[in-house]
A and B are shown apart, each in its own frame.
Chain A
Amino acid sequence: MTQTISSPSTWFWRGARDGLPFTLVVAPFALLFGVVATEAGLNLLETMAMTILVIAGAAQFTAIALMVDQAPTFIVILTALAVNLRMALYSASMSTHLGTLPVWKKAFVAYFLVDQSYAASILKYEQHPELHPQSKLAYFFGIMVPIGPLWYGFTLIGAVAGSAIPPEFALDFAVPITFIALIAPMLRTIPHVVTALVSITVALLLVWVPYSMGLIVAAIFAMAAGAGTEILMERRKGAA
């Protein structure tokens, strides 16, 4: 129980320590984003503005891929935001732990609410539900201490280095490979696999639809297929 009564500053450093392993994932992705954004034609300022204002790798890669594809601006924003909708779930789950804090503190939490900081915090909060919200907050910010600066810094390195990489390296394909690498570990249940297959099939069938609208249709069908499969499987399990 000593963990519970320790001060927010103890929890801050505990968070910083627990954030360290994530740097192995965050740094290469940031580097890759810097390279890919530069190859796509964004200048240094634009690349850094996106990475600092958005801090959401998958959505940033989505936006770049669609911009290269000449999709209209509102489709780029809409699709990339769809990729980030999962963060509304993070927000809902964090609010049950940090809801009583002042709004300005929660605004900072919202800005830094990325996959890694959410996953690590919620794990700790569930182990120590009795922890004071100030300590929970300190732990959350602690996690971002190693992650945040690395995200910005390695994007910068990638953006600067990116312009020096010759086209023989086929970096056009870095984005598809990154996406596949992000998706593959998500395919852990049958409904997830169904969702991905429907998404691929409909997107390929509708590739002729202008303004990348086919992708949005594909995503809607895929989401419904995934949720539908989940419901069916639950019913079957219930009946058995």
Chain B
Amino acid sequence: MDTLSIWIVIAGLGAGTFLIRFSFLGMMADRTFPDWMMRLLRYVPVAVMPGLVAPLVVWPEATGGAMDPARMGAAIVALAIGAATRNTLGAVGGGLVTLYLLLWLL
């Protein structure tokens, strides 16, 4: 990515994120979203992030898009630890250890 695009992303993301955070705080009157909107919004992170990560796991860039057992194994371990313990850092740690172990073994 060229320098200009990087700065456009930084500025756009910074301003947009601030506006999202300021939205209701900045309003004079007490207002909230309608129920259906609140319901949808709750699912946004879990709707966006798995879809973003899935192709990176199945077709990793580092292997030129070939499926890679080490990276796949690391992803599965991270998911299992994260789901079982709710511990994000433990999941990152377990995933990385698995990745290095499998890269070394295979």
Chain A residues at the B interface, C-beta cutoff of 8 Å: 24-25, 28, 32, 41-42, 46, 49-50, 53-56, 58-60, 62-63, 65-68, 70, 73, 76-77, 79-92, 94-96, 98-99, 103, 106-107, 109-111, 113, 169-170, 172-188, 191-192, 195-200, 202-204, 207, 214-215, 218-220, 222-224, 226-227, 230-231
Q: Are A223 and B40 in contact (CB under 8 A)?
A: yes
Q: Which of A28, A77, A86, A96 contacts B9 (CB 8 A)?
A: A77
Residue B105 is within 8 A (CB to CB) of chain A in the complex: no
Whether the pair B82, A49 counts as a contact (CB closer than 8 A) is no
Interchain Cβ contacts under 8 Å between A and B, 9 examples:
A62-B49, A73-B8, A169-B100, A173-B60, A177-B91, A181-B88, A183-B53, A200-B51, A227-B42
Residues of chain A with a CB closer than 8 A to B56's CB? 65, 175-176
Known: A170-B100, A203-B52. A181 touches B82 (CB 8 A): yes
Number of chain B residues close to chain A: CB under 8 A: 74
Residue among B20, B31, B39 facing the most chain A CB atoms (10 A cut-off): B20
Complex Cα gap A88–B27 (Å): 12
Q: Knowing A70-B1, A183-B50, A185-B83, say if A219 contacts B55 (CB, 8 Å).
A: no
Q: Sorted from nearest, which 6 A-B pairs have the closest CB atoms?
A: A184-B82, A53-B14, A203-B51, A181-B91, A222-B47, A110-B22
B38 at the interface (CB under 8 A from A): yes
Seen from chain B, the residues whose Cβ lies within 8 Å of a Cβ on chain A are 1, 3, 5-14, 16-18, 20-27, 30-33, 36, 38-62, 70-71, 74-75, 78-83, 86-89, 91-92, 95-96, 99-100, 103
